């Protein structure tokens, strides 16, 4: 069962969840601790995005040209997962909002298009960014091609090896993709000097991208997650889902999304939590990787977004910006920090968090592919696993609850991961208390 909306139902405004959070802290300057204002961000991003980063108003209008490009794949479908329900034998109703139909295959295109638009409008000529699994990098490459912007992507080296065709996809769109850590930046060279075999991390790639952006006035840094404006853009997912659940004459008791930096869940949950607060509200569950357990084992503190410590400080759940997560197939979940909006929501007990091992996630992903017919990205499979667990709970408790999860992308670039799982070679990464303690000890001072 598919719930479709016509083009006129693409939202005209994004939903800014900042308006609903009482504990959302501003970015701060390292050292002084002074709150970051919009103009402080101008060296790395255009005025419109800098303004969105600090805004607290609930509604932000979506520019016409962005809406026009959204119309190529939005509104995305909402599906009722009847086959999965039957396979589990649950009385629960399971729905999923599917973002894999975008040209780049994931939800990342939602913010890529918006960021490319605002940068083009501001006269910027090049975008530079970091990417893990490559969903973000290829989305930005896609958006850059449509707006005539050059794009350079620092891709985590371990992911580059696992998913070589993501690099080829970026290049097909005309972008330049550089494995990170690289010798193109001081940040990269510093890391390589310490560990020439370093598999890389999102935090290192961010350091490299930010360095390039700061040193060239015609280049902006583009962020694929974590920052407020990114989560704002992703709210199209949640706004459409609210309308589609109404179309299905249903409402979710549980909303589930996978979290790496937090933009996927942030975009899905915001309109459900925000609009309904005070009356009925669903449980929201963040599904993170047990190999990078930011929400379940991290600390809520001010920390850098990158390894080099070159960014403003963000108040977020973090494993420490020097934390090196185990190499993981769900590269998009391999980040030490978490979006301040998602962190604040956890702090305000609006959401819960669950850590999922990747083998469990892949098992759920495989089951989903064989029942619902769509092969999910390994990241999205973490959300599926939690949805299955909730559906099993409903079966045990005899409850007819409604479960909604975000299917953030397809897994057509991740078949090596499924192959590895099917052959029994896939292992779960472990994070020891000792490693974690070491990284957390290197947190910058709090405010």
Q: Summarize as ranges the residues that interact with a copy of itself (CB under 8 A).
A: 1-2, 4, 6-7, 69, 71-72, 79, 83, 101, 103, 105, 142, 145-146, 165, 168-169, 171-174, 366, 369-371, 373-375, 411-413, 415-416, 418-419, 422
* Strands 402-407, 352-356: pairing kind: unpaired
Residue with Cβ nearer a copy of itself (227 or 383): 383
CA distances from 169 to 109, 387, 418 (A): 14, 31, 20
For residue 102, cis peptide bond before it (omega within 30 degrees of 0): no
Q: Angle at Cα 244 formed by Cα 239 and Cα 245, nearest 5°?
A: 100
| Least distance to a copy of itself, CB of residue 246, Å | 17
Residue with Cβ nearer a copy of itself (372 or 390): 372
> Is residue 315 within 8 Å of residue 337, measured between CB atoms?
no
| Least distance to a copy of itself, CB of residue 161, Å | 15
Rounded-to-integer distance, Cα 171 and Cα 165, Å? 10
> Is residue 179 within 8 Å of residue 153, measured between CB atoms?
no
Rounded-to-integer distance, Cα 445 and Cα 313, Å? 10
| Least distance to a copy of itself, CB of residue 375, Å | 6
Joined together, the tokens standing for residue 42 give 């101008």
| Least distance to a copy of itself, CB of residue 271, Å | 23
| Least distance to a copy of itself, CB of residue 40, Å | 33
**Residues ≥6 apart with Cβ < 8 Å to 191:** 181, 198, 204, 307
Residue with Cβ nearer a copy of itself (145 or 403): 145
* Strands 352-356, 283-289: pairing kind: parallel
Residue with Cβ nearer a copy of itself (169 or 300): 169
CA distances from 393 to 241, 254, 390 (A): 24, 12, 5
| Least distance to a copy of itself, CB of residue 371, Å | 8
Give 154's strand partners: 130, 178
CB atoms inside a 10 Å sphere around CB 167: 23
| Least distance to a copy of itself, CB of residue 423, Å | 9
Residue with Cβ nearer a copy of itself (144 or 406): 144
Burial class (CB in 10 A: 0-12, 13-18, 19+), 330: buried
- State the helix-helix crossing angle for 109-121 and 228-247, rounded to 10 degrees: 130
| Least distance to a copy of itself, CB of residue 77, Å | 8
Residue with Cβ nearer a copy of itself (14 or 79): 79
Residue with Cβ nearer a copy of itself (307 or 380): 380
| Least distance to a copy of itself, CB of residue 276, Å | 28
Give 153's strand partners: 129, 177
Residue with Cβ nearer a copy of itself (9 or 281): 9
Residue with Cβ nearer a copy of itself (52 or 138): 138
């Amino acid at each position: 069962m598919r719930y479709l909306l016509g083009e006129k139902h693409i939202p005209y405004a994004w939903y800014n969840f900042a308006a609903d959070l009482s504990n959302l802290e501003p970015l701060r300057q390292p050292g002084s601790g002074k709150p970051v204002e919009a103009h402080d961000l101008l060296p790395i991003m255009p005025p419109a995005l800098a303004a969105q980063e600090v805004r607290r108003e609930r509604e932000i209008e979506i520019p016409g040209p962005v809406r026009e490009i959204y119309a190529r794949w939005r509104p995305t479908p909402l599906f009722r997962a009847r086959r999965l329900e039957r396979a589990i034998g649950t009385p629960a109703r399971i729905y999923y909002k599917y973002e894999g139909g975008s040209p780049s295959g994931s939800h990342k295109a939602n913010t890529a298009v918006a960021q490319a638009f605002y940068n083009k409008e501001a006269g910027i000529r090049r975008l530079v960014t970091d990417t893990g699994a490559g969903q973000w990098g290829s989305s930005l490459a896609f958006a850059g091609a449509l707006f005539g912007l050059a794009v350079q992507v620092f891709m985590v080296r371990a992911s580059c090896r696992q998913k070589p065709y993501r690099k080829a996809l970026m290049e097909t769109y005309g972008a330049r993709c550089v494995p990170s850590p690289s010798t193109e930046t001081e940040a990269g060279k510093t890391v390589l000097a310490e560990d020439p075999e370093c598999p890389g991390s999102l935090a290192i790639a961010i350091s490299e991208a930010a360095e390039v952006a700061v040193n060239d006035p015609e280049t902006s840094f583009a962020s694929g997650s974590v920052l407020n404006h990114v989560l704002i853009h992703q709210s199209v997912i949640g706004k459409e889902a609210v309308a589609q659940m109404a179309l299905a004459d249903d409402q979710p008791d549980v909303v589930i999304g996978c979290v790496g930096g937090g933009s996927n869940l942030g975009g899905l949950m915001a309109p459900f939590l925000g609009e309904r607060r005070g009356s009925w509200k669903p449980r929201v569950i963040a599904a993170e990787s047990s190999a990078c357990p930011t929400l379940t084992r991290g600390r809520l503190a001010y920390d850098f977004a990158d390894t080099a410590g070159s960014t403003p400080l963000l108040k977020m759940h973090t494993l420490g910006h020097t934390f090196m997560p185990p190499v993981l197939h769900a590269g998009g979940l391999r980040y030490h920090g978490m979006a301040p909006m998602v962190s604040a929501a956890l702090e305000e007990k609006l959401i819960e968090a669950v850590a999922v091992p990747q083998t469990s996630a892949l098992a759920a992903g495989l089951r989903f592919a064989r029942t619902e017919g769509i092969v999910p990205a390994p990241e999205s499979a973490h959300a599926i696993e939690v949805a299955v667990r909730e559906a099993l709970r409903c079966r045990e408790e005899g409850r007819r609850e409604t479960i909604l999860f975000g299917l953030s992308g397809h897994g057509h670039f991740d078949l090596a991961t499924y192959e590895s799982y099917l052959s029994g070679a896939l292992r779960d990464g472990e994070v020891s208390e000792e490693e974690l303690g070491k990284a957390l000890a290197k947190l910058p001072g709090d405010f």
